[in-house]
Amino acid sequence: MTVQTTSSKAGPYNGNGVTTSWQTGFRVDDAADLQVIYSNADGIETILNPAQYSVADIGAATGATVTYPLAGAPLGAAEKITLLRVVDYDQRTSITNQGGFYPEVLERAIDRVVYQCQQLAEKLSRAVTVSVSGGIDPSAVLASISTNATLALNSATAAATSEAEAATAASDAGESAAAAAASAASIGFPIPNTSISGLGTASTKDTGAAAGNVPLLDTGAKLNPAIAGFNVGQCYLTKSGTNLVLQPYNGNQLFVNGAFRTIPAAGVPLAPTGLTASVTYYIYAFVIGGALALEASTTAWAIDGATGIAIKTGDATRTLVGMARPIAGPAWVDTPAQRFIASYYNRRFKIGSVTPVGVVIAAAWNEIPSARAEFLVWNGDQVHQSFQGQCSAAGAGSRFALSGGLDGIQSTSVSGACYGGLPYVGITVQSEWIGLSEGYHYTSGYSWIGSGIGSTDSIVNTVFLMI
């Protein structure tokens, strides 16, 4: 037999309220090699359990047929289904000296290698790639995309806020004029009607930052930089030596207690003295003796209704600049295993990573405690986990599986491998969490073996953050 198709994916197929039969268009040799993925109207994907669908035409060159759903209403127009052939990355054909040598066996083994290549090609088609000769770091590209997306969102929010404030100001001006006219009429003295003309645009009437000039909005609905000179928070909270330090970033201004304050070039430090380990603190900036200082507090933050600035709840003299969690000592820490410093302003793409060694207990899912990667996130943040490594089982034909997890709860994403008496087999599983609660979290790994005892090697638990 030959592999006459170049794809290992069919779909995504859109539902139409009628269809329940879906074609792969490529050969599937084993029902266990087929993955059926359902997408709801919100675009959230779920890998279906084999009990939820049926598969026919296994081994047919024209492809397999999947029936879903088995009962109930067919998929609607906003729902989708995708069929994916996923084979393990192993080689199961053994050809012995002077033994039987059957072309069908050899051809099936070669077909499996082609399946694996098609599978990798399908994954790569969904990946961010860089030019061969450009020398560009893919991680830097992803970080740039995330940063630019955040900047675009902030700009859109600022524009909408400015537009709303301008409308409110115009309404207030009209009401004030009407009230003044009414007052003048009541006392018998007329108020002259003076009109203002020739205002032009921001580009023609921008007179700079001299005293007495009126700030004008530029085409981006923001104060002209020549007049404004700064953003609300030109800073970044990080660790330097044993202290937290609020450093200047893209300027040196921070809005605190109703005015902009200058952040010194050396930054504003905060030692962990007197704090409790394993407690998450909010870091606030305040003014004392005319200079900026930092304090750690467990009091949550809120948005000041008068300024729109994040402040300490009930205390507008304190401006939120970050969040941190000391360890025993106490001591501040920001390592791949413990990302315990999160800046509120100018958040950056960071990676947490742990490389543990674990042992798997027979026929049960077990967390690998040493695989925990701890971190802080802001309210509503999104976190992506990649858990990968090499696994080996004592029993021939055993199935070994890995899974990720968040805060001691195992992820529904599972990846495994079947093999018999082979050395270590590589496994990777991806998990993602959206809309996390603010504060402390950790990701970890879980392992399982069908029979016997297995071991793990080269395990890496990686988490991707924006703090």
Q: How many CB atoms lie within 10 A of CB 322?
A: 27
CA distance 351 to 244: 19
- Residue 289 near residue 328, CB atoms below 8 Å: no
CA angle 3, 429, 92 (to 5 degrees): 40
What separation, in Å, do the N-terminal and C-terminal C-alpha atoms of the chain show? 53
CA distance 458 to 295: 41
Domains of the chain in sequence order: 9-92+103-124 (no CATH), 235-343 (no CATH), 349-466 (2.60.120.760)
Both tokens of residue 357? 């060694």
pLDDT of residue 100: 72
pLDDT of residue 197: 42
CA distance 53 to 467: 42
pLDDT of residue 209: 45
CA distance 26 to 188: 91
Which ranges of 78-137 would DSSP assign to H, the alpha helix?
Answer: 103-124
Three-state DSSP class for residue 50: helix
| Mean pLDDT split into 10-residue runs, the chain, 467 residues | 80 93 90 92 92 92 92 93 90 77 78 84 82 78 79 81 76 68 50 42 44 47 43 89 95 91 95 96 95 96 90 95 96 94 92 72 72 92 84 62 86 65 70 91 83 67 86
DSSP-derived secondary structure letter, 217:
B
Which ranges of 244-370 would DSSP assign to H, the alpha helix?
Answer: none
Tally the residues of the chain.
Answer: 467
Rg of the Cα trace of the chain? 31
pLDDT of residue 46: 92
Q: Peptide bond preceding 50: is omega within 30 degrees of 0, i.e. cis?
A: no
Which H helix or E strand runs over 287?
strand 281-288
Residue 155 to residues 151, 159, 162, 332, 348, Cα–Cα distance (Å) = 6, 6, 10, 33, 17
SS percent in the chain: helix, strand, coil, step 5 = 20, 40, 45
- Residue 231 near residue 213, CB atoms below 8 Å: no
- Residue 353 near residue 242, CB atoms below 8 Å: no
Q: Which residue has the tokens 């793990």?
A: 456
